[in-house]
Structure 1
């Protein structure tokens, strides 16, 4: 059963890798535990500001995925690992990543985040959800 307030995944709406990640989560989250917000959206900026992240701070950071869960904001590899755990099933195996020291996990995350446009490409505009998924996007 999903929590009363779904966890929110913030993603780079023009990044092909990030959009693919969102699509993966949607496919493996039929209960609707997660909702989504493109980092470029006003809704994301207001919600992140309400949780202590200065407006525009993401413009210079290589963040591509953030997770707001239980009032706590998670970033880097911690966000990805927590999302995978929340999907349950075989996705919990991704949790083996917790055995790596956080600095190592985050260094790998930063390398991928820094090169994501070059490796995976980017779109001109943010993902537009289908009418069936509209309620899960902020």
Structure 2
């Protein structure tokens, strides 16, 4: 893949909570604008070369929009700006300081495996959604 899509969400592919959030995003993204790739993927490696600000830590949700990188809570809030109401209202949380929202994001990221579980490998998306996932 030579060029990355304009709306790309990177997530921890073995995290049960993260996979659940991706499934939810697939449901609420009625326009089909988001593409998804795990942080363990070739696409993530390619994106890191083009955008050195993308960390390799699996605790970080990354939203890449038109070449701009948004991390952690900011990534989640920016992605929610793209969907329709009522879910778009979650983007309003970006009015809080990044240090505060990332503090809570960090707590959730730290305990996500313990609370929600972990897969041995990245699960395959359902056939109807596979075109929205990058290798």
Regarding TM over 0.5, the answer is: yes
Q: Which residue of 2 aligns with 1:42?
A: 42
Counterpart for residue 111 of structure 1: 107
Aligned positions, number: 130
Partner residue in 1 for 2:56: 58
Aligned residue in 1 for 2:30: 30
**TM-score, with length taken from structure 2:** 0.88
Kindly provide the CA deviation profile for residues 75-102 of structure 1, in whole angstroms up to 9, marking residues without a partner as x: 0110011111211210122123122111
Q: 2:128 aligns with which of 117, 127, 132?
A: 132
Which residue is equivalent to 1:7? Answer: 7
Q: How far is the alpha carbon of 1:6 from its aligned partner? A: 3.8
Partner of 1:87, secondary structure, is: coil
Segments of 5+ residues of structure 2 without an aligned counterpart are none
C-alpha distance in structure 2 between counterparts of 1:114 and 1:58, whole Å: 15
How far did 1:53 drift?
4.3
Answer whether contact 1:81 1:94 (CA < 8 A) is retained.
Answer: yes
Query: Any runs of at least 4 consecutive aligned residues in structure 1 with deviations exceeding 3 A, and if so which?
Result: none
- Kept in 1, the 8 Å contact 2:12–2:39? The answer is yes
CA contact (8 A) 1:6 1:32 kept: no
